[in-house]
């Protein structure tokens, strides 16, 4: 293994310590002295805190002069709530920089070229595995910056015959405890949980991350309701356990634009069949997480509404990326194939 690959691995370990749902990317940095000895390791802890490079340089102190910085993401060249990392690297006397992923954010990009112009030896990581790992650490953040909209995961829980509730509307509980706990872990990883007003009126969900005893736990995602019908004053979404945003629109594009403006880069779509169909018809679902329970109902609402598909040739084809057994239930994770889209 090349020495710089081992250093990038250490930087990736540091990057994963950062908050996944933060508006900013997760970044790790390792600083060595001029002899190649690691003298500082840092990571970004969230919006408004020192960036990974600044964190690592603070730990390295004067030993960083003449040394190398290995960073999972291109050093930023932008002054926001914190100063540019390029200036911090230059002030510390770093002479060489290696990074794994170019920063796609137009406000922060250009750091590598700035450092080259200043005389530093700047390299992009040449190990494909390291580059792929660095991409994966910030998959949804990079998606949002490259596409101009948040990454959308549609989560659904249904019986084997595709029902999300019984004919009388009852749905608690289709899946077992293990699957429900997994949903809370999924919520903890996203910036926002989205439902429509129909789901609020029918199910009165809390949409919080909860512990085994049912109490709100840890960081809470933004709760979002899309639709024009008013949210009842006594709804659990207004209980104060997490922030709630009501967007009076049925347009998925408008919803995602509003969330991107708030720094959200990963949205968990938990709404009913109508909202799911709207996002699918618009081609705005990037991942499906389906919890299937070994239960048969024979009647009741389906997981998704009309997609405007008239024949099997128009079906939305998914590529399965993971299958996990959770108690008696099965979680299937899949992504829409780019060569198949429903027609609206």
* Whether 287 is catalytic: no
What angle is formed at CA 41 by the lines to CA 37 and CA 45, rounded to 5 degrees? Answer: 175
Contact in structure between 221 and 193 (CB atoms under 8 Å): yes
What is the distance between the alpha carbons of residues 160 and 33, in angstroms, rounded to a whole number?
A: 59
Task: Tell me which of 3, 20, 53, 177 is the catalytic residue.
Answer: 53
Tokens linked to 224 = 């979002």
- Cis preceding-peptide flag for 152 (omega within 30 of 0): no
Burial bucket for residue 341 (CB in 10 Å: 0-12, 13-18, 19+) = middle
Compute the 3-state secondary structure of the chain and give helix, strand, coil in percent, each to the nearest 5. Answer: 30, 25, 45
Q: How far apart are CA 87 and CA 168, in angstroms?
A: 63
Residue 266 and residue 44: Cα distance in Å, rounded? 18
**What single string gives the DSSP state of each residue in 148-193?**
SS-EEEEEEEEETTSBSS-TTS--TTSS-HHHHHHHHHHHHT-SEE
CA distance 191 to 16: 16
Whole-number CA gyration radius for the chain: 23
For 226, the enclosing helix (H) or strand (E) is: strand 222-226
d(CA 134, CA 141): 12
CA of residue 80 relative to chain centroid, distance = 22
236 closest CA partner among 204, 203, 192: 204
Q: Find the angle CA(193)-CA(189)-CA(233) to the nearest 5 degrees.
A: 25
Q: Which residues belong to the active site?
A: 53
């Amino acid at each position: 293994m090349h020495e710089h690959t081992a250093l990038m691995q250490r930087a990736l370990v540091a990057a994963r310590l950062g908050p996944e749902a933060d508006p900013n990317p997760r970044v790790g940095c390792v600083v060595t002295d001029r002899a190649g000895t690691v003298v500082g390791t840092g990571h970004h802890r969230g919006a408004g805190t020192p960036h990974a490079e600044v964190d690592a340089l603070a730990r390295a102190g004067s030993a960083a002069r003449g040394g190398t910085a290995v960073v999972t993401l291109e050093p930023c060249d932008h002054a926001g709530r914190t100063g540019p990392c390029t200036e911090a690297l230059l002030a510390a006397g770093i002479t060489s920089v290696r990074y794994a992923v170019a920063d796609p954010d137009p406000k922060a990009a250009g750091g590598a070229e700035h450092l080259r112009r200043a005389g530093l030896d700047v390299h992009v990581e040449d190990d494909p595995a390291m580059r792929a790992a660095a991409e994966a650490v910030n998959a949804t953040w990079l998606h949002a910056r490259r596409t101009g909209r948040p990454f959308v995961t549609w989560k659904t829980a249904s019986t084997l015959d595709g029902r999300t509730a019984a004919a009388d509307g009852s749905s608690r509980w289709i899946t077992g405890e293990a699957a429900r706990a997994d949903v809370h872990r999924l919520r903890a990883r996203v910036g926002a949980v989205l439902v429509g007003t129909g789901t609020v009126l029918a199910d009165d969900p809390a949409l919080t991350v909860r512990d085994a005893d049912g109490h709100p736990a840890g960081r809470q995602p933004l709760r979002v309701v899309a639709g024009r019908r008013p949210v009842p004053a006594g709804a659990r979404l207004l209980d104060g356990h997490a922030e709630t945003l009501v967007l009076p629109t049925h347009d998925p594009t408008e919803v995602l634009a509003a969330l991107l403006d708030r720094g959200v880069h990963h949205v968990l779509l938990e709404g009913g069949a109508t909202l799911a169909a709207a996002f699918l018809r618009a081609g705005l679902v990037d991942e499906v997480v389906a919890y299937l329970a070994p239960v048969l109902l024979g009647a009741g609402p389906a997981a998704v509404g009309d997609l405007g598909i008239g024949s099997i040739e128009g079906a939305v084809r998914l590529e399965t990326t993971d299958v996990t057994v959770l108690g008696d239930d099965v979680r299937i994770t899949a992504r829409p194939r780019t060569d198949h889209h429903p027609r609206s």
